[in-house]
Amino acid sequence: MKTYDAIVVGAGHNGLTTAAFLARAGLDVVCVEKNDYIGGAAVSRNLYKDWTYSNCSYVCSLLRPEIFRALELHKHGLQITPYGGSVTFLENGDYYGSYHDEEVAYREMARFSRHDADAYKSYSADTMRQCRFIREFLLSTAPDPTSFKPGDIRELVKIGKKFTEMGEDRMYETIRFWTMSVAEYLDEYYETDVIKASFSGSGIIGTALGIHSPGTAYVLLHHYMGEVDGNVGSWGFARGGMGAVSKSIASAFQAAGGEIRTEAGVDKIIVRNGKATGVALENGDEIEGRLVVSAMDVKRTFLNCMDEKDLPEAFHRRVKNFKIRGSSGKLNIALDGLPTFPALPKGSSLMHSDMHFIDSMERMELAYDDWKDGHWSEDPYVDMLIPTLNDPTMAPPGKHFMSCFVQYCPHQIEGRRWTSEERDAFGKTVIDQIAKYSPDFKDLILHAEVRTPQDIEDEIGITEGNIFHGELTMDQLLFNRPVPGYAQYRSPVEGLYMCGSSTHPGGGVMAAPGANAAREILKDLKRSNTVPENFGDD
Amino acid sequence: MSTRPFEIQEVHQGRLQSPFHPRLAELDTLNTWHTWKGYTSADALYCEDLEYFAIRNATAVFDLTPMTKYRISGPDALDYLNRLVTRDMAKIKPGRVAYAVWCDDQGQVIDDGTIFHLREGEYRLCSQERHFAWLQAATIGFDVTVEHETENVAALAVQGPTSYSTLSAMGLDLAELKPFGLTHVDFEGSEMMVSRTGFTGDLGYELWIEPGKAIALWDALFDAGKLFGIRAIGTHALEQSRIEAGFLAAYMEFLPADETIRSGRSRSPLELGLDWLVDFKKPNFNGRRALAEEQRRGSTWRLVKLDIDGNKPANHSYIFAKSKNNKSEIGFITSASWSPVCKQNIALGTVRTPHGKPGDSLWVEIYYQREMHWNRKMAHATVVDKPFWFPPRRSATPPGPF
């Protein structure tokens, strides 16, 4: 039987990224995937006639440009196009638009508050300062503060230097920022409820916390630190849907000689004499490998696919306690035509932007309360987009695809599995909320895929369907992600590595965990590094 | 919720037009415009060089309506301003104008601007940037009102040696108006404020009026200026005269401190040569403690005015302490121009202390392109103390009919 140099478990974008960099270093790599399609949660799915759904992740910003460039993803079919702005509809019939053009954005803010319009610049500078602090560490391994290894010390010194360079006041600011709530952060700049509500969404997307929960300011940052072509904070669409990201990385991997096996779900990671030696598939087959790299989340890897006795007790307990709670659902809708939003002026550029339907901080917090009670939000925070206004490839001409990300939606209803009636009722809640602002919307729906966190877990395999493979709170970031002492992509088992979003720097279709893991593996194998350095100061 | 209960006007999506725009558009032949705080503003209208000489030789009219303006009033207006800015505003009596800077708590400049003491307890603050959030936050503890009034006031700069003659021909008696003075006059039934201020370093005035009277004012002004060579100008000509006068510009000589992201990219007033604006005799103002500490320990940067050998403008150049040793880079140029009126190659720059004392010899690395090819030249530069251009007419009171 053939022995591969490396087996990567899970053909999501991170698994494929690790696989591609290992293959480029000359390793014989196989990537196994339980579904009959690749991509994990970065997929384009054809579920209704000629429509293509980005049915999990739906927009792209965090994908590291260094990785795009190193893997030459443009040659493998990936194209990212920026889109701009957002709009929040108010219950009184008004709307607050955030425009791409700086002056138009200013005027619109000043329509609500001159104070807020003028505060935006310092808000933006303060947020960008935090972005710059963290961005440099995305494409590198988080140093262990307890380690005396030269590499760790070098990185720690670098962090310390960047930190102290900020100056006293900004150091205080930074420490506060990393632990405060998004509501408190926004209160420091803005006075208008709808403006705060509009900005606060980025602090809770994918997170089982409310806008007043400590740590949510960082989550906002996580959504700001991406870029499109050097425009930090910009978001874009992958042409052809998010599956184009995974497909292009897969193509780069295969071009380097890699092999992908679909419908090859892993039942167990095989450990012999304390060393990972391969995987046992659900169909009974076994694949041997000199090392195994798991792109699955940390709970699925260690709690579902391994024997407890192969793991140190403390590590096992930490993994069990890792917070990876399901809090987001998704609706993917095929539309017979473009719905109208009467609040918006005819031809408004805001039709191309993110749309939201919660106009106050109180409603944002109430949406979280429902989740705590084990229910989906009666009045949810929806991040809705119509990608087909920018991407002609995803629906027939004149028809549209609508992507609705929904916060909050629990993994289970009061601790038990969802019924299909409940799933329908959840979908109806979202559709009703949008229909309040778009009277012709319901009549245009041809097909709707409703996905609860439970569905995402069942299909993709992510524990509780948590989009980040674990929450992005300070206790689970950097050298704490996923488990202190194991934040450098190695596990307690020799030959077993982690490369999914449970590892630093976390989720969001960045491909950085996958690339960082490949760098560490190649270091252990004493192979030359194929993983790019970050572009540096920006 | 599906219908609109009230009509919501979509905010204007394009550039705004100042109330003077129709007249500027009539005079414009080049069609080269840029955006200034959301407004359409001319780079030049017919010829940059001729427009520049209108400033130095006749009367130049520049539309400064997009300039950010705030009205500050109330019983505590003076105390409020005194905490806000570094200089002593008690010395600025009604009818006077003060150039001022304001800082954050670290003593770093947020912006510079002019403060017009319109009447007892009533001020107008004009600045490049918009600061309403900051100005409002600073009102805490004061009985003072801050109102944004950019759109409510149309403004023209009338600059140049014949500007006094032009305005006199318009019927204004400005003989006694000293530099940095202001007066209120009647214009067709509306109050017009006239200040002897400007951004050109020459004899000149600024006129401030309600937008509804803008066109009438323009027409009266141009009618009066016909025999005095009056011309409308764009930003490029103004910028050239601004450097000659040695004035600072936000985003050129400094960045607003609240918008800087990287550390060390902001500047203190002491680092900008504005020590004369910092009055430590005031017990309390924003940034005082940090500035006192900086004064004690010394500044990191110094703004320099440079007289550079040769005639190649030194835009974007590095500044060196020595001509041969490139490791001795000590700063960079922030604004540069050939000065047609001084026939000098001039620049403003920022250098690390202790370099840059008046009289110091420095070197500037100039790159210039001739027929596609690039050339490099190390040019000698002398640090000068005074503005490059400071004609006696700028301060003559009464001004002559130059």
Give the phi and the psi of residue A246 in degrees, each rounded to 5: -65, -40
Q: Six-digit token pair at A229?
A: 């072509």
Q: Which amino acid is at A143?
A: P
Q: How far is B259 from chain A (nearest CA, A)?
A: 5
Q: Which residue is closest to A121 within chain B, CA to CA?
A: B259
Domain boundary residue, one of B151, B174, B195? B151
Residue B342 domain flag: yes
Residue B258 domain flag: no
Q: Is the domain of B384 the same as that of B355?
A: yes
Q: Give the residue-averaged pLDDT of B6-15.
A: 85
CA distances from B304 to A144, A294, B253, B295, B353 (A): 46, 59, 10, 18, 11
Tell me if A107 and B12 make a contact (CB, 8 A cut-off): yes
According to the model, what pLDDT value does residue A537 have?
Answer: 72
Q: Is the domain of B76 the same as that of B108?
A: yes
Query: Cβ(B190)–Cβ(B131) under 8 Å?
Result: no
Cβ-based contacts of B132 with chain A (< 8 Å): 114-115, 117-118
Q: Six-digit token pair at A83?
A: 């889109």
Q: Number of structural domains, chain B?
A: 3
Domain boundary residue, one of B151, B168, B184? B151
According to the model, what pLDDT value does residue B1 have?
Answer: 45
Q: Is the pLDDT at A180 greater than 70, yes or no?
A: yes
Percent of chain B predicted with pLDDT > 90? 95
Percent of chain A predicted with pLDDT > 90? 86
A420 and B CB contact within 8 Å: no
The CATH number of whichever domain residue B61 belongs to comes to: 3.30.1360.120
- Which of B5, B15, B35 lies closest to A93 in CB terms? B5
Tell me if B259 and A101 make a contact (CB, 8 A cut-off): no
Strand partners, B47: none
With cut-offs at 50, 70 and 90, classify the pLDDT of residue A135: confident
According to the model, what pLDDT value does residue B361 have?
Answer: 96
Q: Is the domain of B90 the same as that of B214?
A: no
pLDDT digits (tens, 9 = 90+) for A268-289: 999 999 999 999 999 999 999 9
Domain boundary residue, one of B151, B167, B192? B151
According to the model, what pLDDT value does residue B307 have?
Answer: 98
Tell me if A118 and B13 make a contact (CB, 8 A cut-off): no
Cα three-residue angle A444-A447-A450, rounded to 5 degrees: 120
Question: Other CB atoms closer than 10 Å to residue A112's CB: what's the count?
Answer: 18
Strands A286-289 and A292-294: what pairing? Answer: unpaired
Q: Is the domain of B163 the same as that of B216?
A: yes
- Mean pLDDT of chain B, nearest integer: 96
pLDDT digits (tens, 9 = 90+) for B25-67: 999 999 999 999 999 999 999 999 999 999 999 999 999 999 9
Give the phi and the psi of residue A104 in degrees, each rounded to 5: -65, -40
According to the model, what pLDDT value does residue A401 have?
Answer: 98
Enclosing domain of residue B311 = 300-390
A91 and B CB contact within 8 Å: yes
According to the model, what pLDDT value does residue B2 have?
Answer: 44
Residue B265 domain flag: no
Q: Is the domain of B323 the same as that of B348?
A: yes
More confident residue, A509 or B324: A509
B7 and A CB contact within 8 Å: no
Residue B135 domain flag: yes
Residue holding tokens 């001795």? B328
Q: Is the domain of B103 the same as that of B126?
A: yes
Residue B274 domain flag: no
* DSSP state at residue B245: H
Sequence-distant (6+) residues with CB within 8 A of B146 are: B70, B71, B72, B132, B135, B136, B139
Give the phi and the psi of residue B237 in degrees, each rounded to 5: -65, -40
Q: Which segment of A82-86, A392-396, A411-415 scores lowest on mean pLDDT?
A: A82-86
According to the model, what pLDDT value does residue A177 have?
Answer: 92
Q: How far is B371 from chain A (nearest CA, A)?
A: 32
Residue B248 domain flag: no
According to the model, what pLDDT value does residue A420 have?
Answer: 97
B140 and A CB contact within 8 Å: no
Query: Cβ(B228)–Cβ(B166) under 8 Å?
Result: yes
Q: Is the domain of B44 the same as that of B91?
A: no
- Which of A122, A345, A437 lies closest to B10 in CB terms? A345
Tell me if B11 and A92 make a contact (CB, 8 A cut-off): no
Q: How far is B64 from chain A (nearest CA, A)?
A: 18
Domains of chain A: 3-42+56-80+239-322+473-524 (3.50.50.60)
Q: Which segment of A67-76, A216-225, B4-13 scores lowest on mean pLDDT?
A: B4-13
Q: Which residue is closest to A112 within chain B, CA to CA?
A: B11
More confident residue, A91 or B327: A91
- Entry pTM: 0.94
Interface A–B counts its CB contacts (< 8 A) at 85
Range 171-200 of A in CB contact (< 8 A) with B: 189
Residue B400 domain flag: no
Identify whether A123 is preceded by a cis peptide bond (ω within 30 of 0): no
Q: Is the domain of B222 the same as that of B93?
A: no
Tell me if B4 and A348 make a contact (CB, 8 A cut-off): no
> CA nearest A404: which of A90, A49, A58?
A58
- Which of A125, A170, A342 lies closest to B263 in CB terms? A170
Strand partners, A98: A86
Q: Is the domain of B157 the same as that of B78?
A: no
Q: Is the domain of B170 the same as that of B314?
A: no
The CATH number of whichever domain residue B140 belongs to comes to: 3.30.70.1400
With cut-offs at 50, 70 and 90, classify the pLDDT of residue B16: very high
Q: Is the pLDDT at B281 greater than 90, yes or no?
A: yes
Q: Six-digit token pair at A201?
A: 């969404």
Residues A44, A45, A50, A51, CA torsion sign = negative
Tell me if A342 and B130 make a contact (CB, 8 A cut-off): no
Q: Give the residue-averaged pLDDT of A433-440.
A: 97
- Mean pLDDT of chain A, nearest integer: 95
Alpha helix (H) residue ranges in B252-399: 288-297
Q: Is the domain of B61 the same as that of B87?
A: no
Which of B9, B13, B125, B146 has the highest number of chain A CBs within 10 A, making it the mutation to test binding with A? B13
Which of A100, A122, A166, A192 has the highest number of chain B CBs within 10 A, making it the mutation to test binding with B? A122
pLDDT digits (tens, 9 = 90+) for A196-246: 999 999 999 999 999 999 999 999 998 888 887 778 778 899 999 999 999
> CA nearest B105: which of B129, B123, B83, B124?
B83
According to the model, what pLDDT value does residue A472 have?
Answer: 93
Distance between CA atoms of A201 and A483, rounded to whole angstroms?
28
Tell me if A122 and B2 make a contact (CB, 8 A cut-off): no
Q: Is the pLDDT at B400 greater than 90, yes or no?
A: no
Residue B2 domain flag: no
SS3 A143: coil
Give the phi and the psi of residue B113 in degrees, each rounded to 5: 180, 180
> CA nearest B342: which of B389, B379, B385?
B389
Sequence-distant (6+) residues with CB within 8 A of B218 are: B20, B23, B61, B156
Tell me if B2 and A439 make a contact (CB, 8 A cut-off): yes
**Prediction ipTM score:** 0.92
The CATH number of whichever domain residue B342 belongs to comes to: 2.40.30.110
According to the model, what pLDDT value does residue B326 have?
Answer: 67
B343 and A CB contact within 8 Å: no
Distance between CA atoms of B280 and B273, rounded to whole angstroms?
16
Cβ-based contacts of A437 with chain B (< 8 Å): 1-2
pLDDT digits (tens, 9 = 90+) for B81-120: 999 999 999 999 999 999 999 999 999 999 999 999 999 9
Distance between CA atoms of B385 and B364, rounded to whole angstroms?
18
Q: Give the residue-averaged pLDDT of A432-436.
A: 98
A432 and B CB contact within 8 Å: no
pLDDT digits (tens, 9 = 90+) for A486-496: 999 999 999 99
Q: Which residue is closest to B8 within chain A, CA to CA?
A: A94
Percent of chain B predicted with pLDDT > 70? 98
Q: Is the domain of B86 the same as that of B102?
A: yes
